[in-house]
Amino acid sequence: MEVIVEVSDQVVKSLGYPAEALPRRALEALLVDECACGRLSRGKVAELLGLSFHQAEQLFQSCRVPYPIKSVLDDAIQNAVLPNAG
């Protein structure tokens, strides 16, 4: 799928990126935002962008996406034993 976004010269200049870097930057921003919203995992974002674990973590840090912190409830749900349906 191809998505075309028109960006004015003024916006390009304001962002400070070379024009040829904008498609990649837009894709990174979209995927990082989807990860922050919980729709993509950090690993999936790295895979889609062709990044190593460390490169992806640098991207998340630069975008100020905090590492998910598990709560006590998360641990309880993960460790719950389901009753035997037998």
Helices (H), the chain: 9-15, 22-36, 42-49, 53-62, 72-79
Read off the pLDDT of residues 44-71 as tens digits, 9 standing for 90 and up: 999 999 999 999 999 998 988 877 656 6
Read off the pLDDT of residues 2-21 as tens digits, 9 standing for 90 and up: 888 888 989 988 988 888 89
Distance CA 48, CA 24 (A): 12
What are the tokens at 22?
């904008």
**pTM here?**
0.70
